[in-house]
Amino acid sequence: MELLLSVCLGVGLSAACGFRIFVPVLIMGMAARSGHLQLADSFVWIGSTPALIGCSVATALEIGAYYIPWLDNLLDTVATPAAVVAGIVVTASCVVDLDPVMRWTLASILGGGSAAVVQTGTSLLRATSSATTGGLGNPLVATAEAGGSIGLSLVSLLMPVIAALLFLSCIGLFTWWWMRRRNRRLTMSADRSDNAL
């Protein structure tokens, strides 16, 4: 049961890395520092003072940068691989009592995968917002992403199973939105073809 909870915690925090890379790491470090989270031995540094200061500065810069219209789309290019790496590290640090090979395999598949899925979804949402609003809607997207990262990180720490279920719900919502968008495009293309005839 403890392994399941630690995996759910890792997946929830990794998914939060898909919204913002440094927010979950900062929240995780504060929880470890206050004694509310036990990290794997090789990851205790996350709760250290230098790591907390570094993560605080990185979090402020990351959140602020996403409010600059042209910079946010550029950051998505860099953020995708970085979110995957952060997701792997976050999951590996949460899974305490497991063989290192299994820990890193699990972290790579579940942690990296969940961060990649969320990051891809947010990148597509931002690109759609940029295309449809000329970038004017991007600050709203940035606010939702920052809130999603903070909220999902906190839920992951307090209720790891709920966080994993929220992540699965996000995947379902994204899939529904993408399919609906695709079907609308296909319908519009078919209507144009019929009108052309």
* pLDDT tens figures, 143-175: 999 999 999 999 999 998 888 888 888 788 878
pLDDT at position 195 is 67
Show the low-confidence residues of the chain (pLDDT under 50). none
Domain layout of the chain by residue ranges:
2-196
pLDDT at position 121 is 85
pLDDT at position 181 is 83
Cβ atoms 175, 190 nearer than 8 A: no
H-type alpha helices, the chain: 2-19, 22-33, 49-65, 69-94, 100-106, 112-133, 138-158, 160-196
Q: Which two tokens stand for residue 16?
A: 């939060």
For residue 58, give every residue at least 6 positions away whose Cβ sits within 8 Å of its Cβ, in sequence order, or none.
21, 22, 26
Nearest of 137, 90, 98 to residue 118 by alpha carbon: 90
For residue 169, give every residue at least 6 positions away whose Cβ sits within 8 Å of its Cβ, in sequence order, or none.
none
What 8-state DSSP symbol labels residue 38?
A: P
